[in-house]
């Protein structure tokens, strides 16, 4: 099963290497990984997708918490969240197919961001499924080049009271019995 995790980390040299090194060393399977700035100066935000059972995700979270530069980690898989991915696809065009491609892109609410005589670059932002589905349609015309960002994700606003702007542990995940992953997630972080 795929789990989407969001981690905050101090923006220090080598921090990405620490995290990726840990994931490799502990033999965790990563589907995608995306890092960028967060709303807080000096704190980077990473969204990554791990493929594995509950036990594995439980370990990913616990081991990540031990990385000194990681200040917080949440599993948002089972919670209401906005998940987006961006893809750029260079697709082969001919005078005959060009308008058909543009139509499809419009249906997907994508954008044509570059046009050449024999190709164009299509941009799509959406859920992973939507990106997948547009790309598979584009494959019929010939995909020359493609780049995807991997998932970025954010929790939806809710009635649940949240400690806003805290990128630091709340040390609450103590005494978890039979430390099941779901149990842990509901207690970690937020």
Partner 1 sequence: MQKAIQNGRHDTTEPARTGERKQMKGSQMIWEALYREGVDLIFGCPGGAILPTYDALSEYEAEGKIHHVLVRHEQCAAHMADGYARATGRVGVCIATSGPGATNLVTGLATAQMDSIPMVAITGQVPTNLLGTDAFQEADVVGVTQPVVKHNYLVTDVNELPQIMKEAFYIAREGRPGVVLVDVCKDVQNATGWFDYGIPVELPGFEPWPEIDSTAVRRAAELINRAERPLVLAGHGVQLAGVSRELLEMVERAEIPVVTTLLGTGNIPESHPLSLGMGGMHGEAFANRAIQSCDVLIALGMRFDDRITGRLDRFAKQAKIIHFELDRAEVGKNIVPDVAVIGDLAQTLPGLLPQVVARRHQVWLQELDEWRTETTETDILNYEVDELIPPFVIRQLWHGSKNAKNGPAILVTDVGQHQMWESQYYTHDHAGQLLTSGGLGTMGFALPAAIGAQMGQPGRLVWAVAGDGGFQMTLQELAVLKQERDLPVKIAIINNGFLGMVRQWQQIFYERRYTGTPMLSPDYVKLADAYDIPALMVRKPEDVAAAIEQAQNTPGPFLIDFRVKEEVNVYPMVPPGAAVDDFIRRPKPSVVQGYSGVEPSW
Where on the chain is the footprint of partner 1 (CB under 8 A)? 9-10, 13-14, 17-18, 21-22, 25, 55, 58-59, 62-63, 65-72, 167-169, 171-179
Contact (CB, 8 A) for 4 and 77: yes
Q: Least distance from C-beta 171 to partner 1, angstroms?
A: 5
CA distances from 26 to 8, 10, 19, 56, 176 (A): 20, 22, 11, 10, 22
Residue reference for tokens 């972080």: 189
Q: Least distance from C-beta 41 to partner 1, angstroms?
A: 13
Q: Least distance from C-beta 166 to partner 1, angstroms?
A: 10
Q: Least distance from C-beta 24 to partner 1, angstroms?
A: 9
Closer residue to partner 1 in complex, CB, 58/85: 58
129 bridge partner residues: none
| Token pair belonging to 136 | 């598979």
Residue reference for tokens 């795929």: 2
Closer residue to partner 1 in complex, CB, 70/89: 70
Closer residue to partner 1 in complex, CB, 33/87: 33
Closer residue to partner 1 in complex, CB, 47/93: 47
**What is the C-alpha separation between 105 and 102, in angstroms, rounded?**
5
Decide the pairing of beta strands 30-37 and 2-10.
unpaired
């Amino acid at each position: 099963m795929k789990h989407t995790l969001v981690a905050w980390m101090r923006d220090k040299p080598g921090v990405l290497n620490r995290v990726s090194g840990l994931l490799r060393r502990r033999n965790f399977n990563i589907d995608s990984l995306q890092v960028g700035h967060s709303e807080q100066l000096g704190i980077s935000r990473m969204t990554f997708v791990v493929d594995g059972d509950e036990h594995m995700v439980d370990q990913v979270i616990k081991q990540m918490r031990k990385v000194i530069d990681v200040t917080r980690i949440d599993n948002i898989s089972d919670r209401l969240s906005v998940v987006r991915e961006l893809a750029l696809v260079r697709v082969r065009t001919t005078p005959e197919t060009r308008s058909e491609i543009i139509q499809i892109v419009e249906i997907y609410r994508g954008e044509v961001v570059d046009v050449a005589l024999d190709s164009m670059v299509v941009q799509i932002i959406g859920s992973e499924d939507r990106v997948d589905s547009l790309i598979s349609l584009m494959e019929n015309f010939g995909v020359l080049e493609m780049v995807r960002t991997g998932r970025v994700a954010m929790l939806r606003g809710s009635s649940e009271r949240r400690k806003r702007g805290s990128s630091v542990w709340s040390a609450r995940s103590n005494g978890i019995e039979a430390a099941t992953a779901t149990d842990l997630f509901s207690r970690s972080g937020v």
